[in-house]
Structure 1
Amino acid sequence: MEFGTTATVETAAGELESHKPNPMSPMRQQAKFSDIDVNDEDDDDAHLQRLGKRPLLNRSFGFMSILGFSCSALLSWEGVLVTSVPGLLNGGPAGVIWGFLLNWIGTMSVYAAMAELASIAPTAGGQYHWVSMLAPARCRNFLAYITAWLTVTAWQAMAVSTGYIVATLLQGMVVLVQPTSSYIPESWHTILILWAAMVFAVVMNSTTSRALARFEGLVLVLHLAGFFCVLVPLGGWSGQGLSFLVGFPTVATALVGADCAVHMAEEIQCAALVVPRALMYTIFINGSLAFAMIIALMFCLDDLPSALAAAETMFYPFLQVFLTAVGSATGACIVAGVILAVGLASSVSVYASASRMLWFSTSTWSGNSLPVTAIVATLTTTMLLSLIALGSKVALSALLSLVIAALSSSYLLVCSLLLWRRTTGAMQPHISGSAGTRRVPVLDPDDLSWGVWRVPEPLGTINNVFAVLYSAFLLFWSFWPQTDPTAPETANWSVLVFGAVVVFRVLWYVVRAKRHFKGPIRETS
């Protein structure tokens, strides 16, 4: 697969073609000689036309449905239960709590910057398109190419990780209910359960966009109600500082992925305003729920060694915590079942975002415009990558760790370029229009203006600086191993996977893609 070539129709939700700035470039000619008529009812389609894209998908998502979509994809309070092991092993309960608070603030800062960009260019390409829009002309195509592969890789890895969590959680619940049985979780059991869960996600994503939007609205209710269903029953490194830092990225996984709303932008009504709001509301709501769940979990940890030991038999220590808090295996299993249901629902959201990033073409099934080809391709990728678990759980763990590294690197690149643009005075004020029809120029990377949503200055620049620092900090620590001393079976191999992806794509760009890749694909003229 190669982004932006004529052989592949549309990749990474491919958008308009970026060109080097010259007086006769098509983008400049379009911006100079042709404006787009924008009516208040047609703003969404006009935004896409400004970006050189044809409106192809039905806009069935409103604010509440896309909020449910992004909240379920994050699995915040559910995620902190699942990913609490490294934090407890390294920094202890205090490390988990303080690590989450820092991650919450940092993530909110990053998504505030991304929300500003989503308001300028609400397109499913997200980081890929924004990098092409913000980068200097001399390196625009190269950076867009690398960003496209990083985001696609991250979301494909996230699709695998979501299925893996659902499968292993179900196996852990079986062990919880029948601790004395002869059942031993096998890798091939995990793979088959994973495949079944992901088929469900594919079926839900291949219905209609309206049905998907309604489903995500129900998931929001389940996400919020399930929080109380779980909360109510709950009632060494050489130094503590280093222990806290190596466990820091794992806690961050509970808040990674809110940009899923960005990748659904072309299916959202009033996307230039709804997407930024959804990003910020998602981080606030999920952060609040996750922090409350962490506090409850820490108070229920009467026997930390037993909880950590449960990771060997039931995959996740929180199952042992549930057993201790509820007092019966059946009750603990019922509480864990809520998390399993939300996790399965989350796979639908993750698959929707992953498929939009891997948008080979727009297929039609039952008369509904949906990227079915990309959805099926994502399922195929998930099934193939999950086979790694048969030979090495360490390799699969490295793949799952890749999510943090790939996404944080794309965030770092986007936030850095936005900071460069805003500090050099390259961003123009928002062009507001009165009611009725108005004329808006086609977007030109060399003449950008703010969208309808932005962080006011000087807070915007301060926040942007912090977002860059946080992204770099998270990226650095995401490659560290979680245990000391480190053995091959406990090493963090994500640096190898991440490095292999980046090196291979850079070499491929130099050898071949440089001659073909011209940035996001332009569909309109």
Structure 2
Amino acid sequence: MADAFAMKSGGKFASEIHHSRSSSSEQHGEKSVNRDEQEMARLGKRQELRRNFGFMSMLGFSCTLMITWEGLLTVFVYGLTDGGPAGLVYGYLFCWVGYFTVVASLAEMVSMAPTAGGQYHWTFLFAPKSCRNFLSFITGWQSVLSWQACLASAAYLGGTIIQGLLVLNYPSYDFQRWHGTLLLYSVIFLAMLFNTYLAKQLPKVEGAVLIVHIVGFFGVLITLVYLAPHGTANDVFVQYLANGGYDKGTSFFVGLITTVFAFIGADGAIHMSEEIKNASTVVPQSLVASIALNGTMGFAMLIAILFCIGNIDNALSSATGFPFIEIFKQAVNSNGGATALTSIVLSLMIFATIAVLAAASRMTWAFARDNGLPGSRFISQVEPRTKLPLYSVALSVLITLLLGLINIGSSAAFNAVASLVVSGYLGSYTIPIILILHKKIYNPSSIHYGPWTLGRGFGIFCNAFGLLWIAIVMTFSFFPSVRTDLTLETMNWSCLLWGGTMIIGVVSYFGYLRGRYNGPIVETDIIEQVVHGV
């Protein structure tokens, strides 16, 4: 279908056709459609979802999905083992710069082709004809898996933070894993409510949550800085720890995974592209702005928490399961104050789950629309009245419910599944960035950029540095945080799980989907609209 589209359009396949900025309908003057519909038509897609997001609502969506400063509070303590305070500070800066170059690369590509499929669609457009179907499928497969794992992880964090507050305020409470699973279910059902019955209000909600995200940041930051005892600059910027059994250099890189988590989900806006007005401009702007804003707040919060960490042994041994709750308690010297501060983090974690469900369901829907999943015909349906992909929303919720059951048997097993988040996300970014970099170097004239571009020189730098950064982070994300005395629970299973899912993907493609998945499907009626302007 894609080849037929290229032939009918009177030009070559790939960027010349799909990314052309001229409008056939304008040339013929027979029918005018808005810019977003024109861009969808050039990509061979029909507008099925309702566009109701603008820049501010999408900025709120992106920032609250990543929850950088909030996420750092939940995981920063693990970086103290490998790297210590100084390792966290400089590792954060390295990850912030690395993620910025990756997101900038993605932003440039989404400006060329703003579709919900994102990475796998671009891979198909830029890859050689001989392997574009396979590379596109593997990219989409990784993206779907990572988003589903991220959704389960976000709901799990929300549920277990609630448990932490119960432990803090009710010493007689008996912490049970199945309680956490039930609380996980409550969080995911609330997210489903906002993605179905309240979906029309989601843009307004995301704009409001952006305000909470910023105001809450200052509320927590000022409280910590003003009330908590402070360490010295030497404690924060010089003190380096390597307690995981690695040498100092290796320990630094192993500890990077802590700060990488703070930027997970940075591509969320891409998968909402078909619901955003003026997507080819708004999506890249919101991507870059969210990395800049969240990165700044995250760095400030990291510095504050390292200065105000207090008794680290008490924090690490906190019965709540979250050291940051104990740090809040030490700072304000009351359970009530700690509960209030934690409630800010908890509420934003829940709203992050709402945004993750939206992005995960759109990514799943887009891949199913192009026959990338079993049961694609069912999963890709859009409810005609609400213009929502309700079946993909339901599937995403069901997957989280099933993954939540793993936590009842073993939280370590659940965390192992959740570890797919980093490798899956970064793996899905890698292939399209490699392909666009290759084109920029060897065939730059074949690229027709969108309205948002990095420029050739800076673009090549971002692509190359981003790929180097991904290679470093992915490699060390497979290392266990503690090298000595490994057990089944302390072992890092992400390499095995990521490799296993990739094998399943390859086997599925060659065994079942090879003749069914042929890249992004071009709809014939859209071909006629582009070619004939009708």
- Please report the TM-score for the alignment, with normalisation by the length of structure 2: 0.87
Are residue 233 (structure 1) and residue 223 (structure 2) matched?
Answer: yes
Q: Give the number of aligned pairs.
A: 480
Post-superposition Cα deviations, 1:245-297, rounded to whole Å, max 9, x if no partner, equal 11112211111212110000000011000000000000000000000000000
Letter in 2 for 1:48: M
Counterpart position of 2:509: 509
8 Å contact from structure 1 (residues 18, 132) kept in 2: no
Shift of 1:456: 1.7
**Cα pair 2:253 2:473 within 8 Å, conserved:** no
Distance 1:318 1:474 in 2: 25
Q: Is the 8 A contact 2:50 2:275 kept in 1?
A: yes
Correspondence 1:343 to 2:349 = yes
Q: Does the alignment pair 1:201 with 2:191?
A: yes
CA distance in 1, matches of 2:338, 2:408: 29
Structure 2 vs 1, CA of residues 427 and 196 (structure 1 numbering), >3 Å: closer, same or farther? farther
Give the whole-Å Cα distance in 1 for the aligned partners of 2:191 and 2:275.
18
1:106-149 per-residue CA deviation (whole Å, 9 max, x = no partner) reads: 00000000000000000000111111111111110001111111
Amino acid corresponding to residue 318 of structure 1 in structure 2: F
1:402 match: 420
Q: What residue identity is the alignment partner of 1:330?
A: G
The separation in 2 between residues aligned to 1:372 and 1:256, in whole angstroms, is: 25
Q: Does structure 1 retain, via aligned residues, the 8 Å contact 2:25–2:32? A: no
Q: C-alpha distance in 1, partners of 2:304/2:157?
A: 22
Query: For 2:419 and 2:405, how far apart are their aligned partners in 1?
Result: 17
3-state SS in 1 of match to 2:130: helix
Partner of 1:321: 327
Q: How far has the Cα of 1:182 moved from its partner?
A: 2.4
Matched residue SS, 2:383? strand
- Secondary structure in structure 1 of the residue aligned to 2:114: coil
* Distance in 2 (alpha carbons) for counterparts of 1:454 and 1:208: 35
Q: Which consecutive residues of structure 1, in runs of 5 or more, have no partner in the other structure?
A: 1-16, 20-24, 429-447
Q: Where does residue 62 of structure 1 map in the other structure?
A: 54
- The answer (yes or no) to whether the contact 2:5–2:522 under 8 Å persists in 1 is no
Post-superposition shift, 1:353? 0.2
> 1:169 Cα shift?
0.6
1:461 aligned to 2:467? no
* Structure 2 counterpart of 1:224: 214
CA separation in 1, counterparts of 2:113 and 2:10?
Answer: 16
Distance in 1 of aligned mates of 2:212 and 2:10 = 46
Match of 1:445 in 2: none
CA distance in 2, matches of 1:70, 1:338: 18
Equivalence map 1:174-185=2 (5 Å): 174-178=166-170, 181-185=171-175
Give the 3-state SS of the residue equivalent to 1:137 in structure 2. coil
1:518 aligns with 2:518: yes
- SS of the equivalent of 1:368 reads coil
Aligned position for 2:201? 211
One-letter amino acid of the structure 2 residue matched with residue 385 of structure 1: L
2:25 to 37, 53, 61: 37
Counterpart mapping for 1:64-143 below 5 A = 64-143=56-135
> 1:404 is aligned with what amino acid?
V
- SS of structure 2 residue aligned to 1:314: coil
- Of residues 160, 172, 177 in structure 2, which corresponds to 1:187? 177
Q: Tell me whether 1:305 sits opposite 2:313 in the alignment.
A: yes
1:146-203 Cα shifts (integer Å, max 9, x gaps): 111100000000000000100111111111223xx22122111011000111001011
Q: Do the aligned residues in 2 keep the contact of 1:131 with 1:147 (CA within 8 Å)?
A: yes
SS, match of residue 518 in structure 1:
coil
Please give the TM-score of this superposition, normalised by the length of structure 1: 0.89
**Structure 1 segments (4+ residues) deviating >6 Å:** none
Task: Judge which range, 79-88 or 161-170, deviates more.
Answer: 79-88
- Tell me, yes or no, if structure 1 residue 376 matches structure 2 residue 394: yes
Unaligned runs of 5+ in 2: 18-22, 226-242, 366-378, 528-534
1:491-524 residue CA offsets vs partner (Å, 9 max, x unmatched): 1111121111100111122222212211112223
* Map 1:337-486 → 2, pairs under 5 A: 337-359=343-365, 360-364=379-383, 367-428=385-446, 448-485=447-484, 486=486
> Which one-letter code corresponds to 2:455 in the other structure?
P
Question: Which residue of 2 is the match for residue 488 of structure 1?
Answer: 488
Q: Secondary structure at the match of 1:449?
A: coil
Choose the corresponding residue for 2:6, options 10, 27, 41: 27
